[in-house]
Structures are given as structure tokens and as C-alpha cells.
């Protein structure tokens, strides 16, 4: 299980180097997809990872897109999280003007 977990982490992290566990080319999208399919088959056979593997297989299109595309929405998600945090902190105590000012100062 430890080896499979390490292989999955190596697939997800985009290092641009060769994956140390399965020798796939991490920068090559086709190789990453092939390595994911091999990992998914191996993880489906292991009792401890069956539920996780089934969840990944169910969201297969999203996982494959994450492995092959360089696009990420992490920056937008970070900004949304910061906005929600500030909004929660001022809930019931301030109006829109103070919320706007705090957001501008937080940036």
C-alpha cells in the first residue's frame, strides 16, 4: 500500500522529472495517463485502496484532465477562500463598505 500511495503522489505532483517509482515521464501527458491506468488497476485490487480507487474511477474524466493539462484554478480558489474568511469574520458587524475595505487591504 505504501508503494502505491507513493506512486500516486508522484503522478499528481508535476515535477517534470521521471517518476522514481514507475519510471514514467511525468512531463509526458500520455505517459502519465498510462501510469494512472496501471496504478488504478493495481489499487483496485488492494482492499485498503478499493474505495479510493473507485472514487477516482468515478471521476475519471476530471482526474485525467488534471494529469494532462497544465491549467489550474488554485489561484482563484485561494482568493475565494480568503474572501469567505474575511466575510465570515465581519458577519453581523459591518456593512459592504467595511468588507470592501478589508478585502482591498488584504490583497
Mean pLDDT over residues 17-44, rounded?
Answer: 73
- At a CB cut-off of 8 Å and minimum separation 6, what does 73 contact? none
Whether residue 29 is predicted with pLDDT greater than 70 in this model: the reply is yes
| pLDDT number for residue 25 | 52
CB 39 within 8 A of CB 4: yes
Whether residue 42 is predicted with pLDDT greater than 80 in this model: the reply is yes
Whether residue 15 is predicted with pLDDT greater than 80 in this model: the reply is no
| pLDDT number for residue 81 | 92
Residue 74 — pLDDT band, cuts 50, 70, 90? confident
> In 3-state terms, what secondary structure has residue 72?
coil
Residue 27 — pLDDT band, cuts 50, 70, 90? low
Amino acid at each position: 500500500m505504501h508503494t502505491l500511495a507513493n506512486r500516486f503522489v508522484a503522478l499528481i505532483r508535476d515535477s517534470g522529472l521521471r517518476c522514481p517509482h514507475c519510471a514514467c515521464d511525468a512531463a509526458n501527458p500520455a505517459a502519465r495517463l498510462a501510469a494512472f491506468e496501471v496504478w488504478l488497476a493495481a489499487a483496485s485490487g488492494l482492499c485498503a485502496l478499493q474505495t479510493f480507487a473507485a472514487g477516482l474511477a468515478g471521476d475519471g474524466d476530471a482526474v485525467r484532465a488534471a494529469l494532462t493539462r497544465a491549467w489550474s484554478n488554485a489561484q482563484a480558489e485561494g482568493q475565494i477562500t480568503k474572501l469567505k474568511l474575511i466575510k465570515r469574520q465581519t458577519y453581523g458587524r459591518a456593512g459592504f463598505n467595511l468588507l470592501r475595505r478589508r478585502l482591498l487591504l488584504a490583497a
